[in-house]
Amino acid sequence: MLFSSYLVRIQNWCDRTQLPSFARHGRARAPVPTLALAMLTILALSTGLGALPVPKTTTPTLHTVHMVQQWIPMPDGVRLSATLYMPANPKRGEKFPALLEYLPYRKDDATAARDYPIHAWFAARGYVSVRVDIRGFGASEGTPTDREYSEQEQLDGEQVIAWLAAQPWSTGKVGMFGISWGGFNSIQLAMRYPPALKAILAVDATEQLFHDDVHYIDGMMHFDEFELNMDLAPSMTGAPDYSLDEKILGPRFESAPWSLMYFKHQRDGQFWHAPIKPLSEIKIPCFLIGGLLDGYRDSIPRMFEQVKAPVKAIIGPWNHTFPNDAEPGPQIEWRDQALRWWDYWLKNHDTGIMEEPPLSILYARLARSRSPPQNRAGKMARRNWMAPEERSEHNALSLRSTRPLNRPRQTGRPPTPLRSVCRR
């Protein structure tokens, strides 16, 4: 029921918020091998486009990028290590907004090859894009926190945002983004509303730390290589020196494994809710990117329902990845849409992004092709808000345009329940 339950939830949200049904405008399709693919075909809209929209503004002049290693001081004397991807040779008096990605994943070795294409891309287009190691991880100083998404992590994040806003090269406006952990703490920092944080972009992320996150997926205890890595990662000091100094290495070795803490909290409760606040307290715009095959996809309907600030979302047929590296695909570029988002909220440029429908869903075109799904053409379904009186009478999801799923056959027999959307 992976696709069907999620699409029904999206549909219910559309009904409550006056967004028209995905299925109502669907075109008839030939039979397909699996019901999972059939469920995706109902997203086909007669007005769908083959690509995401292009900005109103012209392509900016690209900057040369240079990287600066920087210490960011915390109130207790600990310094966090940051890599600043900066536009080189700015004009006299020119200032830039800052973009922050804040992770424990060792920016100077483990994620260096992954970080550069993202942060340098934004820096070339007029931003100072900043990658920071969390306290006690990678090249940052200090003792590792006692859990992920700790109060200390969030307090440090607020200090980082304030520091970025106060730099002489800064316009004073900061955006925060990331996938997975970086999306989680982007949402969490948005809940705390530091003054300089003006917008976020969260990819494959959720605010539900018990039900959605990897430790107790749907309430079931889960332990894999990620848990093991997070228990062991603090014991490796920062690149490129990998210091063996007892003052640096000692506190990391002495920190307790996080997994032992999680094993003590096998029920949803205050422990899992402590790092978060209600979604309704988010006051800044949120751009969400989620995958139909990702475990964190349910946060998108919740944020549409509860966040009072503007929310925009793209959902597509991929797992826990950026859309340009999507599995199974098709793959799409996301940085150009992120740039439009940042330009609108951080530079006050009219990119047209807020004139478009808030929810876009990418689906794969069905084709008899041996090419991998990542390389196949996709199609984007986007709809505008509509008043209740403009909606048709029937809004239920349907595999056929003539009969919604919740309506019995003409024979009077009840419909056969959908037991699964995938079969071997």
Is 341 in contact with 50 (CB distance < 8 Å)? Answer: no
Is the pTM above the cut of 0.75?
yes
Give the model's pLDDT for residue 214.
Answer: 85
Predicted confidence band of residue 270 (pLDDT cuts 50, 70, 90): very high
Predicted confidence band of residue 131 (pLDDT cuts 50, 70, 90): very high
Is 396 in contact with 26 (CB distance < 8 Å)? Answer: no
Question: What would the DSSP string read from start to end of 223-248?
Answer: --HHHHHHHHGGGS--TTT----HHH
Which domains are delineated in the chain?
1-45+383-424 (no CATH), 65-359 (3.40.50.1820)
Type of residue found at 413: R
C-alpha 269/C-alpha 213 separation (Å) is 14
pLDDT tens digits, one per residue of 280-335 = 999 999 999 999 999 898 899 999 999 999 999 999 988 999 999 888 878 889 99
Helix count and strand count (H, E) for the chain? 11, 12
Which of 139-153, 206-220, 233-247 shows the lowest mean pLDDT across its residues?
233-247
Higher pLDDT, 420 or 133: 133
Closest Cα partner for 105 from 159, 187, 178? 178
Predicted confidence band of residue 28 (pLDDT cuts 50, 70, 90): very low
Give the model's pLDDT for residue 253.
Answer: 79
Query: What DSSP state is assigned to residue 49?
Result: B
Is 178 in contact with 101 (CB distance < 8 Å)? Answer: yes
Closest Cα partner for 158 from 209, 102, 238? 102
Give the model's pLDDT for residue 116.
Answer: 96
